[in-house]
Amino acid sequence: MNGPDEVVVGVVADEGLPEQVMARIADDLPGVFAARVSGATRWRVEHRVEQLPLDQDGDIPMRTLSQRHRRDRDWDLLVLVTDLPRRAGTKPIVAGIDIEHGVAMISLPALGAVLVRHRARALLIRVVRQLVSPRLGIDGDHGRRGALARLREMLAPTQRMSGGHRSAVTHLALVGLRGQLRLLAGMVRDNRPWRLVPHLAGATAAAAGTAAYGVITSSFWRLADALAPLRLAAITVVTVLIMTVWLMMYNHLWDRPSEAAERRKALMYNISTATTLALGVACMYAILFVLALIAAVVLIDSGYFAQTLGHPVGLGSYLNLVWLCSSVGIVAGALGSSLEDEETVRKATYSRRERERQERNRRRREDRTSADRQ
């Protein structure tokens, strides 16, 4: 334990998004703690990056990590930052705080998809204030916050809840529809849906080949010219949904746990996976649209285009053609995705930590199936 006038805060972050967020804000934290927690204390923050382990229940062993890190590194407090969604019972949590053992855990997906660094810094202030309040004799709930900061916390979709009579952990839980949407947005951001396109080489090739065929085929020209923009928009939505559902089902990305409690937890994971896929397919569609438009402008002579359609053409005619060709190409892309390895699709869809969770659940289901057969 360090002197009474110095507090050393150790922050251990998972690789990936937690590592990136903490690398941006770690250097500012001593000054922030001095301004927002206690100015009479000298603050030191040590930041490390390592993979946070999971126990047999899939939880992060906060107390075990606290005992190890605080003893080995002479830290007064430990804050764990993970990119896994965490729950207390059925409620998703933003943070867990164990004052007795000087440790807190922050779940970045619960902070949403925007202003993550700002929210992470504010949450670090809040959990450190709670952890250090017995030692410094300060108000752990309010501290040196301004009226605006207090108003923001009151309006945030969170509430404090006890971990139960057997647990010394206090949780900051997400509540209401706004809280669930924030968690969903954070999970999708962590999955990085834009990575889907480069990983689906077969699907991309099939989509591009089909779109290219449509661009140079006169029957596509006439069909696109006959379709109203509203119908073309509906076709786009339907084709994106088709590829999303196909990827989800064909690659067994929909989690189906047998226990009721696990099904409630899996629902948010399944929704985040579907949203990740839909956004990834939308990115593929946008790229395909731009490439097809360039090809159409370069390859199709406007005079011949007008002669085939029987009326003058402009940019709108080219856009309608590319719109239809891209939609048909996406459907072909869904079939082309069958050529991809299932693990490749999982890598493109899930964050590393979520892949580990999915793999652990899969092994559990297989073990239960084997036990039932025996």
Percent of the chain with pLDDT over 90: 35
129 φψ region: left (φ > 0), alpha (ψ -120 to 50), beta (else): alpha
Buried b (16+ CB within 10 A) or exposed e, 154-175: eebbbeebebeeeeebbbbbbe
For residue range 208-254, list pLDDT tens digits in order. 999 999 999 999 999 999 999 999 999 999 999 998 998 888 877 78
Tell me how far apart the alpha carbons of residues 16 and 335 are, in angstroms, rounded to a whole number: 32
Question: Which H or E run contains 219?
Answer: helix 218-226
Position 181 scores a pLDDT of: 87
Query: Is pLDDT of 354 > 70?
Result: no
Kindly report whether the global pTM for this prediction surpasses the value 0.85: no
For residue range 261-286, list pLDDT tens digits in order. 667 677 888 888 889 889 989 999 99
For residue range 337-353, list pLDDT tens digits in order. 766 666 667 666 655 55
Q: Which two tokens stand for residue 131?
A: 């952890």
Position 287 scores a pLDDT of: 92
Task: Tell me if residue 256 falls in helix, strand or coil.
Answer: coil
pLDDT band at 61 (very low <50, low <70, confident <90, very high): confident
Query: Is pLDDT of 152 > 60?
Result: no
Return the amino acid letter for 145.
Answer: R
pLDDT band at 151 (very low <50, low <70, confident <90, very high): very low
Minimum mean pLDDT range among 3-7, 76-80, 108-112, 178-182: 3-7
pLDDT band at 91 (very low <50, low <70, confident <90, very high): confident
Provide the pairing of β-strand 91-98 with 169-174: antiparallel
For residue range 162-210, list pLDDT tens digits in order. 655 455 778 888 888 888 888 889 988 888 888 777 777 788 888 899 9
